[in-house]
Each structure stands twice: as structure tokens, then as C-alpha cells.
A and B are shown apart, each in its own frame.
Chain A
């Protein structure tokens, strides 16, 4: 078995559930760490969407753990077998911890294809059916520092039957045992950490059984699957996660899959989640939006040095009375449907002559150099730079939110943070961080 060098050091547990701490001993050389609550760096095949590595390197505080997803990688199996030196080197990555998950959290795949022995993922050229053998053969070529085991996670749809949910738990446990067996025999995977997957759909007993049984296995941590944002009501989600957290051991990290909205993140942290997949900024970017929600919980409410009032007044005068409703025919209604209260959609015509940065006071490359009007122009002209600049800002803003979250946990300000991020943007005057 892996030496389990990954170590969770909890510095604080708030109200018996929210956990603050740091994951240490990450990576094959154990020199990396990741603060929790935290999120992973979401990528497409090792590349943060739209960003070249030299651009990525200019961002401060990027997560030390890079997530790659097997649906992208499975197509590269032969190539990686030839390459022999693992995915990190193949992708030209350095100084990062590689975590390999099964699915892409931003690209939900069709259901109905999993069997007792196989799980299907969708790559760029279609379905790839994985057995445990194939799954583990892939992991050997990827040589991740940390991976989730194969899992039957098709229970996120509404009205999944109890029988199907039970089967999903059983299959996932069976896959886990087989994976662990192969893992222990593999030289390539020596030192890699294994995360077991907790299933159980929306059925409390199944959730608890899955958690209990998984925890009996020699895993380094847990992935909580089947809680995807679209599939479940938030109160049910937090209830189930809280129940699962009670069953799981205190000393191992819990990674929640498919949840990324800031409000949901806060609730899930309160239910005992430590880690999130960083896909939310990507989704926001893809619909032409910039994250702009407020997470400033510093004691000075005036936020000295930021957003001079004159600018705010000007903004209010120019504000479209229709509020957040997009006015632009260029915007895709599908994009608009999913716009959350945490973002502004730069495709909206009102930003055409808005010469402010995306977020006043934000130190990212995009905000220190460019204006909303420019982003609007890039979006309406379908220019590739729009995705690049928005992704830079959104990743930085999202990371800022996570550090505010840790600060809030440390200083008993979670309630304040909750109010901040939920404050309607009208009150935020769109300009504060």
C-alpha cells in the first residue's frame, strides 16, 4: 500500500464540522501542501482552459494540485504508454501535484452505460468503456500523485431507484477493492495516494453505508460523488454530506465533486467538506461572465484605498434600470439561464462603454490592465482573448474567495462571509471586491 504520506493537519474545527487546516506531504516528493478548505486547479488535459503555462505562471496563489480527468486522458493511453514518464512530464507541468479524477466536473456525461464491470467516460471522440484493469492500466501510464478509484456514479439523476443506488454503492466498493489490489502490485503507482468514492444518491442509509465501508479500506481520502449542483437541492445535499461526514474519519480529507457555486461551497464546508474541484471559474468564463461577488471580510467596512465613491455614483447613474436582465441580442439565452448572482455577464450591452476593471481593486492581470468595455468588445467579436482574460480573472477571484473562506473560519466570520457573498449586487455597487 502507498505510504500515505498525505497528512491532514487540522488547525480548527468550527461547530464540530467546518474544518480549517492544511494537507501536507503531497506529491511524490512530499514537498507540496494545500490549505483546506481549498480547491484544485481545473484543467483540460493538464492545461487550465485558455491559458498557456507562461500566462498561468503569472497568477499568484494558484492551487498546488492540478486536476486532470480520465475522460481526456483515456484517449492518450497509447501515447502515454510510449512516453513512459507519466502525464506530468508529458504535459510539460512542473512543480505541481497531479490528481486524476474519473469525470470532468464541467462536462456531465450521459448515463445508462455503466455495467457491473465497466464504467464509461466520454472523450473528444466518444465513449470509452473502462474496466478496472483498463482503468488501472491508465493510471499506471498517468502516474498521478493522487487519484480517485473507479466508481459507478450514475445516481445523480432525479428519481434514481433505491435499487440502482444500492447497486452503485456495491459496484463502487467492488471497484475500489479491485483497484486497491492492483495498486498494491504496481510499481508505477508506488507512493500515489488513493481516494475512495462515496456514493449513495439521495438515500441517507446508502450514503452512510458507502462512507462506512469505504472508510474501512486503506484510502488516503474520500471523494463525495453524486452531489452535482444540478442534481440535488442544496438543503438535502448539506444534510447528506453532514451525515456522511459524521461517518468518515476525522483525519482524512473529503473532496466534493461537481459543486462550485460560492454559496453552495460555504454550505458544504459547514457540512464537513474540505476540497472542491475548481471548475466553477471555467463555467463562468464560458458564458462570457466575470466573477464579481464580494468576499471582503476585513474589519474595515470602508475598504480603504478601493473604489473611490465618485466612480460608484457614476456607475449608479449609468446603471440600466432593468437591473441584471441582459439587454443584448448577441447573448445566448442558454448562457443567460445559468448566470449566477456571483458574476456579471460582459456580453451585456451595458458594458460597451464601461471603462472600469472587471472588479475594482482586483490585482489580476486582466483587472490591472483591461476594462469591461474591452472584454465586451472581445466577446461580441468572438475573439479568443476574451476567454483568456476572463479565465485569468475568474481563477484569481475564486482563489481569493477560498482564502477569504479560510480567513473567515479562522476568525469566526463565516456568517459575515455568507452575508457578503449573498448580498445582491445592487448593494455591492458592482465595484467592490
Chain B
């Protein structure tokens, strides 16, 4: 069981202290309390205090790209116990645009979400979705897919949009390179991301209300990663993300980069591993010391009828479930499993969109519950045992354990049976 560390600042800084505070450094609206650290692995359980309430970690953050969680109402999402979810700056910046969201009292007001929001920088979508994009020192240039207008997303512009959105955690604009690219472009992108971080920090109009996270880049090159870590950790940012991974690279490279990053990130600040959401990846990367995760996978796959269960997933649209009258997971306590059978959901998929909503609810609940169980095991200092049980349930036999996961877990002293 670990000591409790308090860091970060008071969110309610009084007016009269403001000038003094600014002269030192602006206190970030984030407090991290480490509740427990695993005595074997690098796993940790923390309480994160953000402007819109607490977040217990490790946490999975569902992605609500366009200011909505895919057919789930804000009330339902809150009811599932979600404390923080994502919005995408690129999409929201395009439609309905930052001015409109400002008028609606930010993204919280626009989508009526009372809890915390994290927004990305928009850079990733630009590179992955928009064909005509060009990265210069100034920023990312691209043509709007809606009206063809040329738009420049600079670090300043990204932060300005995110300031309008009013998210509790903003991400710096980084120079994103596919994780399968090698060579000088990776190094250039890493150095540029550091320079852009400084521009983002300077551009933030609401450092007292909105946290800006840095994103560690450097591709799959340990030296570049290390350089980036050294530089970025010199900056006084409230949290760090590990970026540039989860883009189709070898899993062996992936976990090495993750563990290298957590080795050099400050203990007292949250670590967010971007784009990771498969159950095995989550459990392994918690063991490697990450606190926060996001991924579209659980909600996207739900809409195709794939329900997540402790032993993998069920493709509910497959014929084998037509007469299967059990719930998705008999041990699950989500609203879907309490009400509906696999057979009914199978039938409903042919008739109404509500079938997707049912599975989306189940999958979000599955992710959140998984993370709660992980956290509980860390607090009770039985995380390694949890991992072993989890892996046994997930895979039919140990010889099907993915090699990278076995290696990664071994690197933090967890041997699987």
C-alpha cells in the first residue's frame, strides 16, 4: 500500500492571490492523489480531481466524437458511472464550430454533460482523415471536407478551439507521424512537437480552468522517445500523454515504448496512453504504469453487434445467438444484461437502432467495470493475481496468451501460469 501524494493546485484560487500565483506559475486545475501503488508492478490507483468532479484511475474514457456518445443520453452515460469522456476537436471545430459551442457554454453545455471532458488537439484526425494535409512549422494545413476551404490548424488555433470547447483536459497539438514510419521524419516530428507544446502552453487562455497535457512523441525509437521525455518533463504541464502509438506497429515495439515512457514520467502527474482500449492492452498497460486510456473500439464495435465479455466478444448478429436466451454476460449488471437476451438483441439488430444502443451501453459498462476491478485489485495489492485470473478467463489456454503481453508483464515481475 502506498503513501498518499498530493500535487497540483487549488482550483478555487482567490482573486487577490492571482498575481502572485501567476508570477510563480499558474496552478493547474488538477489534483492527483495516489491512492495505492502495486508492490510488484508499476500499476497505480489514483484519484484525479478535475474541474467537473473526480475521476478514479485507472480509467477508460469512452469517445463521444461529435459531442454525443453514439445514441446514449448524457443521463445514461452518467448512470453507467462514467466520470470523463472525450470529444474530438477536429470534428467539433468543423461542425458546429467553436463560436457556436462557446455560445452554448462550451461543450459541457452544448451536450449537457456535467462531468469531465477531454478534447484532443485535432491533429490526429487531420492526418488520418484528411488526405490533403501538409505539416509545416506553422501548423497543419488542410482542405475542409465540407467547403473545400484551406484551413491552417496551428498550435494556437487548436488551443483556441479547445478553449472554446471548455474541456477539462486539452491536448497539445502534436506532429503526428504514423507509428510505422521510420527515419528523419520521426525525429523532426518529435522536436516539432516539443516546440508546439511551448506554443500551446503560451496560447492557453484558461490555465486556471483547463489543463493542457503534453504528448510524448518519438515513434518507436527509444532514443527519440527519451529525448522527448527529457524535454517535455521540463515543462510545467499538469499531465502527460504517450502518443504516436496504437497505429499498427508491432506490439513488441508498442509496449517497450510505453514502459520506457512511464519510467521517465513524473510520478505525481497523470499518464494517459492514447488510443488504447482492448481489454488485454488495458490490463497490461496499467501494469506498465498508465492511468488513463481512450479508444473508439468498444463503442464502434458495439454498433456492429459485437458485445465485449470477459472471455472475448460475442458477435450478436451471428445466427448462433438467434435462440440463445441468456443475457450477453450472465454476471454483468448493466441495464442491457438485466433486461435483454442475446436472442432478442440478435432479432432487434434487424429491426431497430436501439439494438446498437443496448450493446454500446453494455460495452461501455464492461470497460468501466474492468477498470474498477483493476483499481480495486491495486488498492488491495493483489493486482498480479488479478492479471493472472483475467488472462485465464480471456484465453482458452495459456499457449494462446499473446507473446508481447507475456513479455510486458514479465518485465514488471508478473509471471503467468
Contacts and interface: CB of A to CB of B under 8 A. Distances in A.
Contacts of B74: 369
A388 B74 CA distance: 12
24 contacts: A44-B351, A45-B347, A50-B71, A51-B354, A54-B335, A54-B339, A78-B322, A78-B323, A79-B343, A92-B344, A125-B350, A353-B100, A369-B75, A373-B96, A373-B104, A373-B110, A374-B112, A378-B68, A383-B70, A384-B353, A385-B69, A385-B73, A388-B73, A389-B73
Contacts of A428: none
Nearest to A92: B339
B156 to A, nearest CB: 25
A400 interface: no
A298 B90 CA distance: 48
Q: Point out which of A47, A48, A376 has the most chain B C-beta atoms below 10 A from its C-beta.
A: A47
Interface in B54-76: 66-76
Given A385-B72, A388-B71, A377 B96 contact: yes
Contacts of B33: none
A90 interface: yes
Given A92-B339, A352-B96, A79 B71 contact: no
Given A373-B100, A376-B96, A384-B357, 5 more contacts: A44-B351, A47-B351, A72-B351, A353-B100, A378-B68
Nearest to A49: B352
A389 B76 CA distance: 12
B354 A50 contact: yes
Contact of B344 (A48, A90, A385): A90
Contacts of A325: none
A353 B76 contact: no
A124 interface: yes
A371 B104 contact: yes
A129 interface: no
Contacts of A124: 350-351
Nearest to A69: B351
B104 to A, nearest CB: 6
Q: Point out which of A48, A371, A385 has the most chain B C-beta atoms below 10 A from its C-beta.
A: A385
Interface string A363-400: 00100011101101110110111011100000000000
B38 interface: no
Interface string B337-376: 0011101100110111111111001000000000000000
A54 B354 CA distance: 11
B70 to A, nearest CB: 6
Contacts of A376: 96
B393 interface: no
Chain B: interface residue count, which band? Answer: 35 or more
Nearest to B74: A369
B354 A52 contact: yes
B103 interface: yes
Interface of A: 44-45, 47-55, 58, 72, 75-76, 78-79, 82-83, 90-92, 124-125, 352-353, 355, 365, 369-371, 373-374, 376-378, 380-381, 383-385, 387-389
Contacts of B73: 55, 365, 385, 388-389
B26 interface: no
B70 A385 contact: yes
B350 A90 contact: no
B224 interface: no
Nearest to A355: B104
Contacts of B336: 52
A20 to B, nearest CB: 34
A157 to B, nearest CB: 26
Contacts of A76: 347
B72 A353 contact: no
Nearest to A376: B96
A90 B326 CA distance: 11
A357 B47 CA distance: 36
Q: Point out which of B112, B322, B347, B356 has the most chain A C-beta atoms below 10 A from its C-beta.
A: B347
B325 interface: yes
A45 B355 CA distance: 11
Interface string B378-412: 00000000000000000000000000000000000
B71 A385 contact: yes
A55 B344 contact: no
Nearest to A83: B325
B333 interface: no
B350 A47 contact: no
A352 B100 contact: yes
B193 to A, nearest CB: 29
Contacts of A55: 73, 76
Q: Which 5 A-B pairs have the closest CB atoms?
A: A384-B71, A44-B352, A92-B339, A124-B350, A385-B68
Nearest to A380: B95
B110 A374 contact: yes
Nearest to A366: B73
B95 A381 contact: yes
Contacts of B296: none
A74 B335 CA distance: 27
B111 interface: yes
Q: Point out which of B110, B339, B344 has the most chain A C-beta atoms below 10 A from its C-beta.
A: B344
A79 B347 contact: yes
A352 to B, nearest CB: 7
Contacts of A91: 340, 344
A100 to B, nearest CB: 15
A387 B100 CA distance: 22
Nearest to A84: B325
Contacts of B357: 50, 52, 384, 388
A92 B104 contact: no
B100 A92 contact: no
A383 B288 CA distance: 36
B323 A79 contact: yes
Contacts of A353: 100, 103
Interface string B83-96: 00000000100011
B112 to A, nearest CB: 5
A382 to B, nearest CB: 9
Nearest to B91: A381
Contact of B354 (A47, A380, A383): A47
Q: Point out which of B91, B340, B348, B351 has the most chain A C-beta atoms below 10 A from its C-beta.
A: B351
Q: Point out which of B69, B103, B352 has the most chain A C-beta atoms below 10 A from its C-beta.
A: B352
Contacts of B66: 377-378, 381, 383
A371 B68 CA distance: 14
B356 A384 contact: yes
A370 B109 CA distance: 9
B341 A355 contact: no
Contacts of A371: 104
A78 B69 CA distance: 35
A374 B76 contact: no
Contacts of B79: 54
A51 B66 CA distance: 20
Contact of B322 (A79, A374, A377, A378): A79
A72 B73 CA distance: 27
A315 B67 CA distance: 25
A53 B361 CA distance: 12
Contacts of A51: 354
A65 B402 CA distance: 52
A378 B361 CA distance: 19
Nearest to B79: A54
Contacts of A355: 103-104
B70 A50 contact: no
Contacts of B353: 49-50, 384, 387
A48 B348 CA distance: 11
A59 to B, nearest CB: 12
